[in-house]
Amino acid sequence: MRPDERELDDEIRGHIALSIKERVDRGEDAESARRAALIEFGYIPAARESMRQVWHRRWFAASASLGREMRIGFRSLRRTKGFAATIVITLALGIGATAAIFSVVRGVLLRPLVNRDEDRLIYIRQSGPGIGAGNMTFSVPEIDDLKSHVTTIAAFGDFSTVDFTLIGLGSEPRVVKAGVVGGSFFDVMGLRPVLGRLLNARDDGPNAAGAAVLTHRFWMTALNSDPTVIGRTIRLGPRPATVVGVLEPSVPYPADTEIIANVVTSPHHLGATMVTNRVHRMTELFGRLAPGASIEDARAELTAVHRTMMHDHPEAYSPQADIQLRVSRLRDQIAAPARTILLVLLAAAAVVFVIACSNVANLILARSVRREGELAVRAALGASAGALRRTLLAETLVLCGAGAALGVLLAGPFVTVVARFAARFSVRALEVTVDPSVLWVGAGLAIAAAVVLAFVPRLPSAHAPAGLGLASGTVRITAGTNRRLRLFATAQIALSFVLLVGAGMLLAALIALQTAATGYDMRHVLVFDMPTPATGVGLNDAKLIDFYQQTTRRLSQLPGVERVAVGSFVPWRDAGNFGPSVRFAVEGYTPANGEENPRARFRIVSGRFFDALGIPMIAGRDFTDADRIGSEPVVIVSQSVAQRLFPNGEALNRKMWWTDPYFSTLLPRRIVGIVADVDDENVERRSTMTIYHPVGQFGIAGRLFIRASGDPYSLVATVTQVIRSISADQPLERAATLEDVRAQVLSPERLNAFVFSAFAGIALLIAIVGVAGVLSFSVSARTREFGVRLAVGSSPRQLVARVLSEGLVISAIGIAVGAAAGLGVERLARGVFERVDLPGAVPVVGAATLLVAAAVVASMMPAVRASHVDVLQALRSE
Amino acid sequence: MAKSPDDQRLELLQGTLDMLILRTLQWGRQHGHGIGQMIRAQSDDVLKVETGSLYPALHRLVKRGWLKSEWGVSEANQRAKYYQLTAAGKAQLSREQDRWSQLVQAIGRIMNPAQANKE
């Protein structure tokens, strides 16, 4: 039906030919007839266009006219570059931040995992909240119990983490974090290899050959995707293993390991303790739901079996620990730690976006007041309200479109920053990249903003002659517009206040952590990981103890070294590695009725450890080289242990013994010393109940501590050299001062505070622009009023004070509203999050002070302008 | 609107062009040029149809289903599009004629009240 371009041309050509013929028939000559016919026909493209338009649909015509309006809007905005730039940048910040956070939220919380049928994949966790054990993991007897009694789970997969000294990949012996898994693990997880094969049932059990799978990241980064690695024989500690395959890229959970090996590679996994001891817990447990079973069925069944298990073995499940079983989808489990922080950030981004929009609304409102004359003329000439709105919409669309375009560009780097940040909470964030969702979120936000903003200004009525007066160029600000402007400015202050208080809270927490007294001499202590070497020695081996003593002696002779010690635990960095605290008893101390034995942390250190780390001895003696296997078993306790158990100070020389079933014998050990309290698990001191054992009686240590007189890092090379000269394949890694260890441990907090402060900073900036804009607009609209005031004797200082006080009133109301809103948010947040902290007085007062200061700064410029009004010009201006 | 060089010619009233086209085609199929010439001739050169209005009107009528078009060869030996009334077009023409005579009478009564009273 609809004619194409050629038909339209043919029709026009036919018409002109007929017209020429008619003239020629009348006797005109051909050339003049042709010219006359063309003149008579008129402008051919216009005719073609008008014919074509007949066939267009109505919406097309409407959008074509909107397009025309947008071109006009674009041109008129080019004349007000500052105005347009402010709006575009403000919107870009709001849209960019929101779109970036949204794509990270989507990537981390909502996207499915690569695992086959990932919604059938569940994670089972045993926890003991009573003793602060968030993840107790499972022992082999426990897993066997669950396996034999549960029908809603088709198959279980187990995974435990072990540090291996890896030899055979790369030139140096390295300590790698490895997963040790049973034969069903990969099948349960539903993962595929990208090269070779994964581990299966034939790799399970003590008689299989050693086999290892490389994770994709390790293969890509450390081995440059070398395909010849398949089939190579490597050494994992003392045992050989063959590399059989490379795992596809997948979320590394529960641990980000470099290789995953079968149980035969880990002697520990084959030992009697591992297989028979119910409290020897170190295995993570996964399951695949049986066909037809829901996660609720599995949860109910697992919980019931677990309860029976606890009932049958009361010695392994202390009532105080309050042991519980949790069953969740693997996807939710992986996302859970990041959920809170991401939702908070999303809310912060949304607040920034709302602030940006309200600021833009202000600017547009102010501009539309200046344009009221133009709009009034249009209305008087018969433009309908719809047509005027379309004009405004066209302009806001241009502005918001530009803002969104810039915002999407900003979102790229934003996503990178936020993803790196979120990776501290959930490994999935590592996979997040800028995806098209940023585009449509940005576009959606822009369109929403444009539509809202187009409806902000009041339309002039065609019947109100007052509007026409404005066409002469003067601006009269109406009470309604003024109220709206102030409303938006107040809203901005209120929202900025909420964000600033939030940022202040995080900063205050960070500062508290960074300045908290730790009890360590942090600047001069250098720590190393010095894991048990791969060959030559075993645990509890006299040779290992000799190695430690020889190392300590040789290192002490180095220039610049003050003290050398070994231990089992780098403060904070090794947090969680030793599991929860352990129960113990001391002769002469009986717990009050109904109370269990006290718990303390179990640590192994050498002599001079306390001296090296700056922990004062309070009573008794330090460990010496004479505290060895065979000599009297001794311990040193922290001050908290001594004071809690024996407030009168008679702890020294009493005997203590561990009562946890983990320790097979109740060997009594004499308390020979008391040292000051430190908390090596938490930077902010919480629990300080610790009992130290001499390395000579326990063997394994694994960490090296050196107290330097000068720059600690200058010692690293020499120390490595000395250690290698004693034992050639001894790994020595992760050298850092205690101060830097703390900084590393606190980096999530720092990032938290940084990201949130960035949001608050953006909000503050926008709010300052908003307040300054409103006041300078109000000042410029009241030039005459100020002129009159000056003429009748007001001093310029009074005018400055007047404008400043207007700014202060706006900010004061804003802060009050913000505080009220903040309390509302807090109540709301309690419904969503488990724990909500109220800010202390410092962040609140700080934020309020900052905002008031900002308001003063923002009011200053317009205030000074008001005081400089030229009286004569002001009076003449109307 | 472009001024016609001939002061005697009148611009068409809005909405009447469609009716005139339908009416012209009552006598059989015709191309756009012919329709324009016929309106001009039958109005004794008073009404002049601009091509800028004529062709969009023809396309609009085709779109509404009142006309159909086919290609033919014109007197100038050129391809030309011929328009023809459809059944719906004929019905529309009679409706428009009724409406038109009502309109003329109404306007006549207003402009010449005396004459109208005499009738």
Task: For residues A592 and A219, give the distance between their C-alpha atoms in angstroms, rounded to a whole number.
Answer: 56
Summarised one tens digit per residue, pLDDT across range A183-230 is 999 999 999 999 999 999 889 888 889 999 999 888 888 888 888 889
Confidence at A467, pLDDT banded by 50, 70, 90: very low
CA angle A216, A218, A220 (to 5 degrees): 65
Query: Residue A657 class from Cβ within 10 Å (0-12 exposed, 13-18 middle, 19+ buried)?
Result: middle
Lowest-pLDDT choice from A22-36, A279-293, A409-423, B30-44: A409-423
> What does the pLDDT read at residue A73?
76
Contact at 8 Å (CB) between A527 and A732? no
Contact at 8 Å (CB) between A636 and A623? yes
Whether the predicted pLDDT of B8 surpasses 60: no
The shortest CB-CB distance from A47 to any of B33, B51, B81 is to B51
Q: What percent of chain A has pLDDT over 70?
A: 91
Domains and CATH numbers, chain B: 16-118 (1.10.10.10)
Contact at 8 Å (CB) between A692 and A605? yes
> What does the pLDDT read at residue A296?
92
Whether the predicted pLDDT of A721 surpasses 50: yes
Residue of chain A minimizing CA distance to B33: A15
Confidence at A427, pLDDT banded by 50, 70, 90: low
The shortest CB-CB distance from B63 to any of A13, A19, A54 is to A54
Residues 11-30 of A with CB under 8 A from B: 11-15, 17-22
Q: Smallest Cα–Cα separation from A528: which of A561, A557, A501, A505?
A: A561
**Average confidence score pLDDT of chain A:** 82
Best residue in A39, A51, A52 for a mutation probing chain B (most B CBs within 10 Å) = A51
More confident position, A460 or A873: A873
CA angle A751, A754, A758 (to 5 degrees): 140
Task: For residues A560 and A562, give the distance between their C-alpha atoms in angstroms, rounded to a whole number.
Answer: 6
Best residue in A11, A16, A38 for a mutation probing chain B (most B CBs within 10 Å) = A11
Which amino acid, A860? M
> What does the pLDDT read at residue A474?
46
> What does the pLDDT read at residue A466?
45
Residue contact A50–B56, C-beta within 8 A: yes
Residue contact A15–B31, C-beta within 8 A: yes
Lowest-pLDDT choice from A170-179, A367-376, A850-859: A367-376
Residue contact A50–B32, C-beta within 8 A: no
Confidence at A622, pLDDT banded by 50, 70, 90: very high
Whether the predicted pLDDT of A580 surpasses 80: no
Residue contact A11–B75, C-beta within 8 A: no
Q: What is the DSSP string of A160-192?
A: EEEEEEEESSSSS-EEEEEEEE-TTHHHHHT--
The shortest CB-CB distance from A15 to any of B33, B56, B71 is to B33
Task: For residues A752 and A338, give the distance between their C-alpha atoms in angstroms, rounded to a whole number.
Answer: 12
A22 chain-B contacts, CB cut-off 8 A = 33, 37
Between the CA atoms of A657, A658, A664 and A669, what dihedral angle is there, to the nearest 10 degrees? Answer: -30
Q: Smallest Cα–Cα separation from A449: which of A389, A410, A404?
A: A404
The shortest CB-CB distance from A13 to any of B62, B71, B78 is to B78
Query: Residue A607 class from Cβ within 10 Å (0-12 exposed, 13-18 middle, 19+ buried)?
Result: buried
Task: For residues A603 and A694, give the distance between their C-alpha atoms in angstroms, rounded to a whole number.
Answer: 9
Lowest-pLDDT choice from A12-26, A38-52, A831-845: A831-845
Confidence at A462, pLDDT banded by 50, 70, 90: very low
Cβ-Cβ contacts under 8 Å for A773 (sequence gap 6 or more): A86, A359, A362, A363, A366, A489
Contact at 8 Å (CB) between A429 and A253? no
Summarised one tens digit per residue, pLDDT across range A756-809 is 788 888 888 877 877 777 777 777 777 777 888 888 888 888 888 888 888 888
A33 chain-B contacts, CB cut-off 8 A = none
Task: For residues A92 and A445, give the distance between their C-alpha atoms in angstroms, rounded to a whole number.
Answer: 11
Residue found under tokens 């020595």: A732
B118 touches chain A (CB under 8 A): no
Summarised one tens digit per residue, pLDDT across range A369-380 is 767 777 777 777
A9 touches chain B (CB under 8 A): no
Summarised one tens digit per residue, pLDDT across range A42-94 is 888 778 878 887 887 666 666 777 777 778 777 877 777 777 887 888 888 88
Residue of chain B minimizing CA distance to A7: B81
Chain A closest-CA separation from residue B104 CA (Å): 29
Can you tell me the mean pLDDT for A488-504? Answer: 83
A55 touches chain B (CB under 8 A): yes
DSSP letter, residue A210: P
B64 touches chain A (CB under 8 A): no
Chain A closest-CA separation from residue B103 CA (Å): 27
> What does the pLDDT read at residue A634?
94
A15 chain-B contacts, CB cut-off 8 A = 31-33, 51, 55, 80
Confidence at A298, pLDDT banded by 50, 70, 90: very high
Confidence at B119, pLDDT banded by 50, 70, 90: very low
Q: Smallest Cα–Cα separation from A74: which of A87, A84, A86?
A: A84
A53 chain-B contacts, CB cut-off 8 A = 56
Can you tell me the mean pLDDT for A441-468? Answer: 69
Segment (H or E) for A809: helix A796-832
Q: What percent of chain A has pLDDT over 90?
A: 20
B72 touches chain A (CB under 8 A): no
The count of other CB atoms within 10 Å of the CB of residue A479 is 7
Grouping H, G, I as helix, E, B as strand and the rest as coil, residue A653 is coil
Kindly list the domain boundaries of chain A, sorted by start residue.
1-53, 56-114+337-476, 137-322, 479-515+745-878, 536-728
How many residues comprise chain B? 119
Q: Count CB pairs under 8 A between chains A and B.
A: 71
> The tokens of A247 are what?
């795992």
Residue of chain A minimizing CA distance to B36: A15
Chain A closest-CA separation from residue B13 CA (Å): 19
A18 chain-B contacts, CB cut-off 8 A = 31, 33-34, 74-76, 78, 80
Residue of chain B minimizing CA distance to A54: B60
Chain A closest-CA separation from residue B58 CA (Å): 9
